[in-house]
Amino acid sequence: MFISSAYAQTAPAAAGGDIMSSLSGMLPLVLMFVVLYFVMIRPQMKRQKEHKAMIDALAKGDEVATAGGLLGKVAKLGETTLTLELTAGVEVQLQRSAVVQVLPKGSIK
């Protein structure tokens, strides 16, 4: 009266099944990784390569802007550091990676 009858469930389908259905299930995930690579990772790697080339090409007398907003001329170059002349007699030592832009000659007066 109060208890309903219990029936056995049918056996599930074979797990070996169709390989195409499993590949089509993974396709959106693979597609997202491909889009992520071309939209985010590849442009970032390109920017890093261009920045490294700019830092390697620095020479004495170049006018540069730093990440901290300092503008000056390169007075001395080291392997990992450089000395930046802000005005006559004022020099600051920085890491090379702090340089974000090489300015055209005559920009700083």
Please give the full DSSP string across 32-56, using - where no structure is assigned: HHHHHIIIIIHHHHHHHHHHHHHHH
Q: Per-block average pLDDT, block size 10, for the chain (109 residues)?
A: 78 65 85 94 95 95 95 95 95 96 91
pTM of the model: 0.68
Helix count (H) and strand count (E) of the chain?
A: 2, 5
End-to-end alpha carbon distance in the chain: 99
Which pLDDT tens digit goes with each residue over 83-101? 999 999 999 999 999 999 9
d(CA 54, CA 74): 14
CATH number of 59-109: 2.30.30
Average pLDDT, the chain: 89
